[in-house]
Amino acid sequence: MAIVVNIDVMLARRKMSAGQLARLVGITPANLSVLKNNKARAVRFSTLDALCRALQCTPGDLLDWVPDDGQAAETDG
């Protein structure tokens, strides 16, 4: 998957536990784990908004795009 979720990075920067973040956002620890481990297929904007509010960051701090191997070769021309 080309989209990487950096929730662990932001948790470390904010010195916050995953359980605390889940409570602040209003999602289950299991659902937060799915996001953290890049297993989610989608994320609701309302959840992304709540994550950004709780972590005091922007969506760009949480989400990163990394090209797949095939995509990198296509752009090299």
Which pLDDT belongs to residue 29? 97
pLDDT at 68: 82
pLDDT digits (tens, 9 = 90+) for 65-77: 998 876 555 555 5
* pLDDT tens-digit readout, 20-36: 999 999 999 999 999 99
Chain-centre distance for alpha carbon 10 = 9
What's this model's pTM, rounded to 2 decimal places?
A: 0.84
Tens digits of residue pLDDT in 41-55: 999 999 999 999 999
Read off φ and ψ for residue 54, nearest 5 degrees: -65, -35
Which domains, and CATH codes, for the chain? 3-76 (1.10.260.40)
CA angle, 57 as apex, 53 and 61 as ends, to 5°? 135
